[in-house]
Amino acid sequence: MHVPVWHNGTAQWVKEGKLAILGVTQEQHADRCRLFAQWQGFDWPILQDPINVLEALAVPILVAIDEHGIVRSTRPALAGFKADFLDKKFADDAPPETPRRTTPAIKEGSREPDWDALRALTKKNNTAVDWRNLGDALVLWGGDKSLEEAMVCYARAVEIEPKNGLAWFRLGVCHRRRYESARAQSTDFQEAINHWGKALDLDPNQYIWRRRIQQYGPRLDQPYSFYDWATKAEKEIRARGAEPILLTVRPAGAEIAYPVKALPGAATARAPDPDGKILRDVAGLVRAEVTVVPGQIRPGKSARVHIVLRPDPKWKAHWNNEAEPLRLWVEAPKGWRVSERLLTVAAPKKPVTDEPRILTFELVAPADAGGKENLALYALYHVCNDADGQCQFLRLDIPVAVVVRRGTP
């Protein structure tokens, strides 16, 4: 990988005080980057830009900046780095910096902006840019408690300016972050994907935005495995006698999948309840959340469907793990291909648990597809509820609508 090569190639100069390295990570999860840095031995400061305020179109980007803050190379080569940059004397010969800030202003000596002043200014100006700016400040400096207010700001920005791709992207980031929090709403993941899709439609060359969708998307559309390195990193760090950085959201499913050139055909499987005889979960002991990535699929292209099944705390519902595993049956429309028709989730060893169970599969639309298509899915599970003490084997029908969008990709 490019960055570790630079880290190793410049380590001596950093040690001698001739060079400072400043990293900026363009990803949502700071702890994943911390684990990566721990694994690679990066000992330089790394900043996080989860909402792409620097507006990088792709990564990695390396820029050599001299002691006056003047850019000397935007594509440095390690081979000539010492002679062409480190050993050179540069004059302070650039015009004064254009007063362009790329990140929200914070108070000198503080970790935050003056919120009252910033909110008042935003309200007064009432432009998409001001609302987006306030949203940026809330995400970067307001902490987790400010997420909902940031979402309101970005929503206002796109209401004023529907073609504001930056605001759409950042609104999507907020939804995904909330989805991974204790305040998750059942639609947050799909909304994140849809907002990122809108942003990418406005700027198809924005690869940072594209990667966010691909991170959760089908293997046919993945450029590489995003987080397959995490398990290896943890193992190697432990072998060195250290404890790896704990990941708050463990990469799984699409995030650790490898790209494929063709979707393997689904193995022959028999529908577990072909006649629909199993009792339906009419009380809603288990709730299903559906997310399709990308939000709109092109004819002949693929999508990944994420199904999350959660026992409803309202019923004090929980899985009965002593019975057979949870199953999901996928019935696709004619002409559509799916990676798997029958999916199962292995149960934990404990007899009773109430964790969300995640199942994902991929599908490919036929070349002549168009409009809205419906997939008929159902899950079969053993669930108990402490409200009345019953344990049942139930079926939950899960309709999945997939929108096929024709036109220019």
Partner 1 sequence: MRPYPLILVAALSLAASDFAHAAPYSPKVGRRHPDFTLPNIEGGKPVSLSDFRGKKVLLIQFASW
- The span from the CA of 208 to the CA of 20, in Å, is 25
CA of 163: how far to CAs of 47, 101, 222, in Å?
28, 22, 26
Residue type, 324: E
Per CB under 8 A, 366 contacts partner 1: no
Per CB under 8 A, 76 contacts partner 1: yes
Q: Which of 8, 43, 57, 314 binds partner 1 (CB under 8 A)?
A: 57
For helices 128-141 and 147-160, give the axis angle rounded to 10 degrees: 160
Per CB under 8 A, 45 contacts partner 1: yes
CB of 31 to partner 1, least distance (A): 8
User: Between residue 258 and residue 297, which ones bind partner 1 under the rule CB under 8 A?
Assistant: none
CB of 95 to partner 1, least distance (A): 8
- The site that binds partner 1 (CB under 8 A) totals a number of residues, namely 92
Per CB under 8 A, 146 contacts partner 1: no
> In terms of DSSP bridges, do strands 390-404 and 326-331 run parallel, antiparallel, or are they unpaired?
unpaired
By CB under 8 A, which span of 116-124, 182-190, 265-273, 305-313 interacts with partner 1? 116-124
Q: Which of 77, 117, 271, 387 binds partner 1 (CB under 8 A)?
A: 117
- The span from the CA of 162 to the CA of 128, in Å, is 9
Q: Which of 64, 358, 391, 403 binds partner 1 (CB under 8 A)?
A: 64
Per CB under 8 A, 65 contacts partner 1: yes
Per CB under 8 A, 98 contacts partner 1: yes
Per CB under 8 A, 21 contacts partner 1: yes
Within 10 A of 80 (CB to CB), how many other CB atoms are there?
10
- CB nearer partner 1, residue 57 or residue 401: 57
By CB under 8 A, which span of 33-41, 307-315, 352-360, 375-383 interacts with partner 1? 33-41
**Residue 141 contacts residue 147 (beta carbons within 8 Å):** no
- The span from the CA of 31 to the CA of 65, in Å, is 27
For helices 165-179 and 147-160, give the axis angle rounded to 10 degrees: 150
Residue 289 β-bridge partners: 308
User: Between residue 204 and residue 263, which ones bind partner 1 under the rule CB under 8 A?
Assistant: 206, 211, 215, 224-227, 229
Q: Which of 16, 83, 100, 279 binds partner 1 (CB under 8 A)?
A: 100
Chain-centre distance of CA 280, in angstroms?
A: 33
- The span from the CA of 57 to the CA of 207, in Å, is 5
User: Between residue 311 and residue 350, which ones bind partner 1 under the rule CB under 8 A?
Assistant: none
Q: Which of 206, 210, 248 is nearest to 226 (CA)?
A: 210
Per CB under 8 A, 165 contacts partner 1: no
Q: Which of 60, 89, 90, 91 is nearest to 76 (CA)?
A: 60
Per CB under 8 A, 127 contacts partner 1: yes
By CB under 8 A, which span of 64-72, 279-287, 331-339, 386-394 interacts with partner 1? 64-72
CB of 379 to partner 1, least distance (A): 31
